[in-house]
Amino acid sequence: MSSAAIDTKSATDSAATVRSEPVTPDSLARVFVRGGMSLGAAYSIERGTTFLAGLLAARIAGASAFGAYALALSTASMVASYSGAGIGSTANRFSGQFQRSSPGYRGFVRALALISLASASLATLLLLAGSGPLAAVLLHNSGLAGLLRGAAFMGGAVVLAECCKGFLIGQRRVGALILWSIVSGAGLLVVLPLTARINPAAMITGQTAVLTGAVAAVILFRRRLGLSPIRADSNAVAGPAIKPVLMFGLVQLSGVAGINIASWWIAALVASSDPALHQMGYYSAANQLRALACIAPGLLAQATYPLLSRESGDAYGGPDRVMAQGAIVSTIMATCAALAIVLVLPWAVAAMYGASFISSEPVAGLLLGAAVIHMGGIPAANRLSIVSPRALALVNGLWALLLCGLGSLFAVRWGALGASAAFLIAHACSQCFVMFCLKLRGALPRLLLLSFFGGLLAAMMIAGLAMARVWNVGISPGAACFTTAGCLTIVAILFRGLRAGAVNKPGAANTADE
């Protein structure tokens, strides 16, 4: 054998050794931490500046003008959310598959641009055509038709902005995302207070200009932001066709629509169970507390979504490994947050909402338990959306039907408490459906089962502690200590499983993505 052949074989073996080298848990953990913290920083800047701009505009414009602006903004956002067909999640998902170093990157960007422009045009046309009927029939105020027509272009701008943010998250361009937040936030801080001195239509026009300008800035400075292709042969493969990208977005849209309808149905049942609407007040306050427990794991889910495709996940041991470890970390985060909230519920509810909301404690406890199960299962649901979007659409439909059925049984009789119990049961069943679908496709690592059962047990303990008030037991120090010890033990077991890496070997073949 020639020396050249020997050198070639050695190089091949060396490359194979490098490819099969295990990815340490620390490397993936660093991705989780950096991604979550970066998204947290970007969202904090964007939402903080948006809140401050809205606060200043409200003080300048007054209640009536600001109310008209808020109505037009919410209408434009609602139309954009449906006409956009989940464009933000779609951009995030396919960005993980087509990074800028991949041959199909140009084709992906082209397809995404065409779909986002078409969706933005659809949102604009829908509002232009429907502004009159919306104002006259639903709002019973024909004078708002002109304002809603002015908000039509706002709907298109929201679609483009969501697409741009999803794309930046999927490409993991943290600096570009933070820059987006600063530019759009600073723009609103300047524009909204100035236009608030004129009229609500000027406020909507100004915000539309800010969002459109931020999108244009990303396109204009794409090279400096690291968004240009870095391969000379990037035209060798066309990338994804428009149809699969669009179909994925439609599946996302159907899931969001089903979830929104089911959630609205539950809220309507709670409201109808108590004409005085006390139960609705308890339910709303408990949902706000639940949202606090979802912040950190929600950011983590967005940061890791692009890594759940085979193209990006292989660098971290495969997408199934990323999914399983993401589920563990999300469950740990949600458990710790929910435990911290439930321990201070008796004092927090009275301090934040007043003594009249004391009955919302058990409702909040059940919803916090549901949050642990839900957030721990998001990585698995995200992986299923890539492996089989149609299976996820079926799971979302089953979840919505189950929630509506349980709510019809529980909420009518027990009000907010019954509604929260329906959510807890529906989320647990939904995660079982997701894992069953993953099992059928050979994408169910053992660590995911540990995450699910650990989160389920922690949820039961957290909900049980809050339910003690309903059973006239009270939240005694002993019960609180027992729940704390139990949840921390579960967290320790989950962390041990995370470190052990009880999942497919890194580099092992994963199921094919649709």
Of 29-43, 126-140, 298-312, 374-388, the least confident: 29-43
Q: Say which residue the tokens 């899931």 belong to.
A: 255
pLDDT of residue 502 exceeding 60, the answer is no
- Look over the chain and give the mean of its residue pLDDT values, rounded to a whole number: 80
Q: pLDDT (tens digit, 9 = 90+) per residue, 283-325?
A: 888 888 898 888 888 888 877 887 887 777 777 778 888 888 8
Label residue 70 by pLDDT band (50, 70, 90).
Answer: confident
Q: Report the alpha-carbon distance of residue 487 to residue 490 in Å, rounded.
A: 5
Q: Report the alpha-carbon distance of residue 461 to residue 452 in Å, rounded.
A: 14
Contact 112, 162 (CB under 8 A): no
Phi-psi region of 22 (alpha: psi -120 to 50; beta: other; left: phi over 0): beta
Angle between helices 389-414 and 416-440 (to 10 degrees): 160
How many other CB atoms are there within 10 angstroms of residue 409's CB atom? 14
Which candidate, 404, 409, 408, 414, places its Cα nearest to that of 362?
A: 414
pLDDT (mean) for 477-490: 89
Buried b (16+ CB within 10 A) or exposed e, 71-90: bbbebbbebbbbbbbbbbbb
Q: Which residue has the higher pLDDT, 368 or 136?
A: 368
CA distance to 80, 131, 152, 154, 208, per residue, from 125 (Å): 11, 10, 7, 11, 15
Q: At residue 475, what is the residue type?
A: I
Q: Is the entire prediction scored with pTM above 0.85?
A: no
* Whole-number pLDDT of residue 11: 36
pLDDT of residue 7 exceeding 60, the answer is no
How many other CB atoms are there within 10 angstroms of residue 34's CB atom? 13
Q: pLDDT (tens digit, 9 = 90+) per residue, 430-456?
A: 999 999 999 998 888 888 899 999 999
- Whole-number percent of the chain with pLDDT over 70: 85
Question: Coil, strand or helix: which one is 397?
Answer: helix
Label residue 80 by pLDDT band (50, 70, 90).
Answer: confident
Q: Report the alpha-carbon distance of residue 109 to residue 227 in Å, rounded.
A: 10
pLDDT (mean) for 57-84: 78
Which candidate, 364, 356, 294, 383, places its Cα nearest to that of 331?
A: 294
pLDDT (mean) for 389-412: 90
pLDDT of residue 95 exceeding 70, the answer is yes
Contact 411, 418 (CB under 8 A): yes
Contact 32, 304 (CB under 8 A): yes
> How does DSSP classify residue 238?
-
> How does DSSP classify residue 222?
T
Q: pLDDT (tens digit, 9 = 90+) per residue, 183-232?
A: 888 888 898 889 888 888 888 889 899 988 888 888 888 888 777 777 64
Contact 32, 326 (CB under 8 A): yes
The tokens describing 362, both together, are 């058990």
Q: Say which residue the tokens 């957030």 belong to.
A: 375
Contact 160, 87 (CB under 8 A): no
Q: pLDDT (tens digit, 9 = 90+) per residue, 101-135?
A: 777 777 778 888 888 888 888 888 888 888 788 77
Q: Is 479 exposed, middle or buried (0-12, 13-18, 19+ CB in 10 A)?
A: middle
Label residue 12 by pLDDT band (50, 70, 90).
Answer: very low
Contact 234, 371 (CB under 8 A): no
pLDDT of residue 460 exceeding 90, the answer is yes
Q: Report the alpha-carbon distance of residue 287 to residue 283 in Å, rounded.
A: 6
Q: Report the alpha-carbon distance of residue 134 to residue 67 in Å, rounded.
A: 16
* Whole-number pLDDT of residue 380: 92
**Residue 468 phi/psi, 5° resolution?**
-60, -30
* Whole-number pLDDT of residue 34: 72
pLDDT of residue 14 exceeding 60, the answer is no
Q: Report the alpha-carbon distance of residue 290 to residue 423 in Å, rounded.
A: 12
* Whole-number pLDDT of residue 508: 44
How many other CB atoms are there within 10 angstroms of residue 287's CB atom? 20
3 state SS for 138-173: HCCCHHHHHHHHHCHHHHHHHHHHHHHHHHHHHCCC
